[in-house]
Structure 1
């Protein structure tokens, strides 16, 4: 049974996606903690419970430093780093500084950038143009406005209402900024989890699938529950993360 396969000595760091905050990992974090794991759910500057810090100057580097600081100030080692959606860009860049503290990475329907790519590069020109227009019309020109939670595939009205009450705008600079080196992320043991139905771009999925074929230290899994599977299917997400912990134990 999955209950017995993972060691609880390894901390989890659960990183949220765009316009979200650490709050979105609550149902999964509580399940991991009941299994005895230490779990951190940091929120990136300007978002969620740190939305009072929202400012046009916040860029990708700010968010990368947020994650690096979490590892440094919490003295984290031998951890499992889990990144959802936009968080994949942040985690991939941060690995240049924290790879020695991370045992295993998990990308949950997340962006996996190569050096020099931005979020807009990864989502494609048509979607990037739509986001830019939305920012001009509804985001004061410098934020990505929130979307109704149904945009992420959620259908339960109670979850939609709760998520809508938590979402916050995000500085568009974080989407425009190119990432630096991601070499250490691409060479690190990890897993990609495709949430079904996914919101990931097809070429991002192809990139992850190809890596899983070529790299014996990289796994590919699917998970029912829409892009917001950590909220809509926390039990399934837990099972995936327990498998990741088991793989990490075997490395």
Structure 2
């Protein structure tokens, strides 16, 4: 009996990182669609083309709800769910509600939190203090202003201009809020892709490496690309995501 084409080509849901938007997946999404996959690239509230909604009350749970609603309103099933950077917080929290709709979760140089942890817990006191000072001095005390594309490893002039024209501010509260239960994220079949050099703290990478050694449903890969690999190395990212379908 031949394989069911629908099961062979599951949908992808690509979740962006901090200060980005669904726009950052443009090249990867195009490549995946060309091979027959449905692709969703939701933009979280207050970011990207939804920057007009930016306000001090937006927290991590708002973004978790954004992702859950995408699955519910689009009736997404059997998806490969991909998180980049801060998106790992959102995906880990959302899996408590949508794990049954997800075939596999992929963390692309993304945060991998335990229950109750915040971004600030994961990045350490010094980096958290820098974000707080930046918000205080340049973000009215409640948002982290846009960063230059070079912060994410984007150095090609054309790519940098494209990224810089779209980067937006990040609500500070999203980095301060603790994530809810992440038990299902830690038990779900998954893949972790470390971009070398990674912008993540070593202990986050060690968590993924250690899980890989004990969990046969979780794989670990190294990609020699910058943190914004979906911009600087879209073909390589696409290949790894397609491999995740059958992992």
**1:208-247 → structure 2 map (5 Å cutoff):** 208-247=208-247
- In 2: Cα distance, 1:196 partner to 1:8 partner: 30
Secondary structure of the corresponding residue to residue 230 of structure 1: helix
In structure 1, distance between residues paired with 2:95 and 2:37 = 22
Give 1:53 shift: 0.5
Q: Does 1:143 align with 2:143?
A: yes
- 1:29-178 correspondence runs (5 A): 29-178=29-178
Equivalent residues in 2 for 1:185-224 (5 A)?
185-224=185-224
Question: Any gaps of 5 or more consecutive residues in structure 2?
Answer: 1-5
Secondary structure of 1:81's aligned partner: strand
DSSP-derived class of the 2:246 partner: helix
1:157, distance to aligned residue in structure 2 (A):
1.3
Deviation at 1:152, TM superposition (A): 1.0
In structure 2, the CA distance between the partners of 1:237 and 1:7, relative to structure 1 (3 Å rule), is: farther
Quickly say closer, same or farther: Cα 1:35–1:7, change in 2 above 3 A: farther
- Under a length normalisation based on structure 1, what TM-score does the superposition of the two structures give? 0.95
Partner residue of 1:19? 19
In 2: Cα distance, 1:228 partner to 1:177 partner: 24
- Give TM-score scaled by structure 2 length: 0.96
Give the Cα–Cα distance (whole angstroms) in 1 for the partners of residues 20 and 161 of structure 2.
14
Runs of 4+ in 1 over 4 A off after TM superposition: none
Q: Shift of residue 7 of structure 1?
A: 5.9
Distance 1:172 1:19 in 2: 11
| Cα contact 1:8–1:37 (8 A) shared by 2 | no
For this pair of structures, how many residues does the alignment match? 242
> Does the Cα contact within 8 Å between 1:71 and 1:98 map onto a contact in 2?
yes
Other structure's SS at 1:103 match: strand
* Whole-angstrom distance in 1 between the partners of 2:233 and 2:153: 12
Q: CA deviation at 1:8?
A: 4.8
How far has the Cα of 1:239 moved from its partner?
0.7
Checking the alignment, whether the CA contact within 8 Å between 1:89 and 1:111 is kept in structure 2 is yes
Distance in 2 separating the partners of 1:124 and 1:16? 22
Residue 180 of structure 1 aligns to a residue in which SS? coil
Structure 1 Cα separation of the partners of residues 9 and 169 of structure 2: 36
Please state how far the C-alpha of 1:9 moved relative to its aligned partner: 3.0
- Find the aligned partners of 2:72 and 2:86 in 1 and give their Cα distance: 22
Query: For 1:187-221, what per-residue CA distance to the aligned partner results, in whole angstroms no more than 9, with x for missing partners?
Result: 00000000122111110000110010111110000
Q: Check whether the contact 1:8–1:35 (CA below 8 A) recurs between aligned residues.
A: no
Distance in 2 of aligned mates of 1:214 and 1:125: 30
Query: Structure 1, unaligned stretches of length 5 or more?
Result: 1-5
